[in-house]
Amino acid sequence: MMRELEVAVKAARAAAEVLSDTMGADLGISYKDARANLVTVADKQSQQVITEVIAGAFPDHAIVGEEGTAGDPGVEHVWYVDPLDGTTNYAHGLPYFCVSIAHRTGGETTAGVVYDPYHDEMFAASRHGGATRNGEPLRVSQVERLDRALVVAQAQCAIAAGRLEAYCEHAMDPWDIIAGQLILEEAGGTLTRFDGQPHRTADRADVAASNGLIHTELLTVLKGEDLP
């Protein structure tokens, strides 16, 4: 396992300990904007722990997270962190949340992990190194028709594991998608923008993800067109 991936796994597990210790406590809930966009002390403490682990291993790297930035984002090596993806679920005691960490350099994502601490599932991938769940190789499903596919939101790792076939979402921030994107692609899946163009930057984007076999049909439906 490449060192960046090892550090990402270590940071995700450290963050999960924070989330486990904090769940059910006074979360100090506040809102980032007028929408139901929560932030809690758990988000902030989780990002702090992740930052400490990454900075301890790579002091010259930058960290761009949902809860703030450490270092200069213009350096060669940048980490993208969502310390608690699914804050609303977490705050309500629902066991559907995760920690997402990705490393980028040279214009591409080279390592990524998404850890579901409640179900103890560590999804991990390195560029050209394949994708795994708890060390076991992942592969997308072989469903070839959209009308027989299970399509949901925010579930790239589930697609990578062959549990689902597709998802789509508007205005996704890099810390929300790029770790999962690498895992999905290394498992044989596809992620593009809604217009079908590749998504290779760390910019916010409208994205569609699938097992690859139904991707053309998925994009057709997203454009409001009828399937042939």
pLDDT surpassing 50 at residue 161: yes
pLDDT tens, residue by residue, 101-160: 999 999 999 999 999 999 999 999 999 999 999 999 999 999 999 888 888 775 899 999
Assess whether pLDDT exceeds 90 at residue 16: yes
How many angstroms from the chain centroid is the CA of residue 26? 26
Round to whole Å and give the CA distance between 11 and 3: 12
198-209: average pLDDT: 95
Model pLDDT, residue 42: 86
Give the predicted TM-score (pTM) of the model: 0.90
Taking only the tens place, the pLDDT of each residue in 190-202 is 999 999 999 999 9
- pLDDT at residue 203 tops 80: yes
Specify the CATH number for 3-222; select among 3.30.300.130, 1.10.10.60, 3.40.50.2300, 3.30.540.10.
3.30.540.10
Instruction: Name 3's Cβ contacts closer than 8 Å, sequence gap at least 6.
Output: 57
What pLDDT is recorded for position 43? 87
For residues 163, 164, 165, 169, the Cα torsion angle rounded to the nearest 10 degrees is -140
Query: How confident is the model at residue 86, as a pLDDT?
Result: 87
Question: pLDDT tens digits, residue range 69-108?
Answer: 999 999 999 999 999 998 888 888 888 899 999 999 999 9
Q: For residue 143, count other CB atoms closer than 10 A to its CB.
A: 18
pLDDT value of position 152: 73
- Report the percent of the chain where pLDDT is more than 70: 92
Lookup result for tokens 């988000």: 43
Cα–Cα distance for residue pair 220/197, rounded to 1 Å: 13
pLDDT in tens, 18-72: 998 887 655 656 555 544 456 778 889 999 999 999 999 999 999 999 888 999 9
